[in-house]
Structures are given as structure tokens and as C-alpha cells.
Structure 1
Amino acid sequence: MTQPKEELGMLERHDELIHHDIIPRLEKVEKAQMDFSTQAEVITGQVKEVTVQVAEIKSSQTNLELTVMKDGQETRSILNKFVDHYFATDKERLQTERDVIHVDERITLKRFSTREKIVLGVVGAFAGSGGILAGIAALIQFFK
């Protein structure tokens, strides 16, 4: 009969050990597992949110790149038109200046009298490249 008392004492110690030591430990482990599961769900949700945000950022970046490229193309087009217009205007101005100079030369020649034109022609003939030689040849023939 001592065995049942010993067994009963052993059972009471085991019961006391289970209730005071093992069960609180198991409760802590279960709570930690629950916390871990909850945190894993939260982290999974956050990862999904970050993934969605990264996809949105990529899409926005692509849209921004397209917008910048279109704006750059439009800017180049406008600048090309401006440059073409500027050079056309500059070319027209130079042509106008040439035309004015040419007209001034014609007007100047038209203002000479007939006598002045003849003198100018004779001087031009003698002062021109072949005119000097022709004048010298004429003078040599004259003195012979």
C-alpha cells in the first residue's frame, strides 16, 4: 500500500509541476506562435502593399519618361522652327542689304552725266587689267 501513497504523492507532484511550470510555458509558446502568425500576416500585407506601390512607381516613372520625351520633342520642334525662322529672317536681311547696295550702285551710276560716264569708261579701260597694257601698246604705236 505504500506504493499507492508513493504513486499518489508522485502524481500530486507531477500535477503541481504541470500546473505551475509546464502549462505556463506552453501558454507562452502558444502566445508567441499567435504573435508570430499575426506578425507574419501583417508583414505579408505590408509586402503586398509595397509590391503594389513599387508597381505604381514604375508605372508613374514610365509615364513621366514618356511625358519628358514628348516635351523634349516638342521643344526641339519649336526651337528648330525658331532657328529656321531666325536664319530665314537673317538671310532675308542680308539679301535686302545686298539689294540696297546694288540699287545704290545703279543709282550712283545713273546720276553720272554722259560726259562723266565717258571719262569713267576711258579711265576704266586704261586702269583695268588689260587696259593698261593696251594703253602702253597704243602709246608705243603713237610714238613710232
Structure 2
Amino acid sequence: MSYNLIKALHALVAIAATGPLLFAPWLSARLKNSRAENATLLLQGLEVTDRYYNIAGWILMLSGIGMFWLNDWHRLFQIWFLLSVVIFVIDSLAEKRLRDPAISTLTKSHPSNDDWTHASERLHKAVLIQMVSTAAIVVIMLLHSLLDINMLNIIPFYQR
């Protein structure tokens, strides 16, 4: 395994993971105000973006684990990595608590039903949270060279 090859794959997959989230907010906003004939198409579009986002996310995590295993294990204790993990947990919670139940409701419902509006609003909120979370992680990754605080270097009680 080549570290540079895995790093290049990791960078490309990060771009692939953010790509679908550029379209998802637009699709979810349109879904909130859609007519019956457009709703199914918009919902299918959101499911496709979610599928590609999840596949890219898994490849991203596996390539990141590969990089840590090969060379970067010490980065587990750096602030940028810990912050990225916290943001990823927020992203995952938005998906499990808002997006998945909303998609389930929308696939069983019709735009004329009362629960459609509430579920489409929840879906839009989840998509926005995921978009902001992913963008924040990408920004952190791009700027991580500036965030060089290492948890191993912090001394709880500094002695003179």
C-alpha cells in the first residue's frame, strides 16, 4: 500500500462526497414547494445524492483509516481531527434523526397530505445541516496545517 496513493484517493473522495451536497439543498427546497408530479422525481434525486454521499463517506473513512495506519496515527490527537470527528457526529445525527425519518414519511405520503409539509421541512433542515457539516469538515481539512495544536503537547499543570 502506498501512502501517497491512499492520500490522493482520500482527497478525490472528499471532493466526491461534497459534490452531491451542492445539489441536495436545492432539491430539498424545491421538494417543500413541489406539486405532486415533481415530488417523486425530486425525492428520487435526493435519494441518489444521499446514496453517493454515503458511498463516498465510507470510502473516505476507510482511506483515512489507511492513512492513519500507514503513517499518521499521531494525528488522532490533534484538534483539527477531533473537531472533524465531532462535526461528523453532528452530520450523522442529522441523518439518523431528521433525514431518514423524513424520507420514510415522504415515500409513504403524498404532497397533498398534512404530514408531507412537516416531513419535507425536516428533510430540508437535515440536508442543510449535512451540507454545512461537510463544508466545515472540508474547510478544516484544508486549513489543518494552521491548526497545529497537538493534544499530546498540552501540559495540564505547567511547572516552572
* TM-score, normalised relative to structure 2: 0.28
Q: Which structure is richer in relative contact order (CA contacts within 8 A, separation 6 or more)?
A: 2
Max Rg structure: 1
* TM-score, normalised relative to structure 1: 0.31
Select the structure that is richer in helix.
1
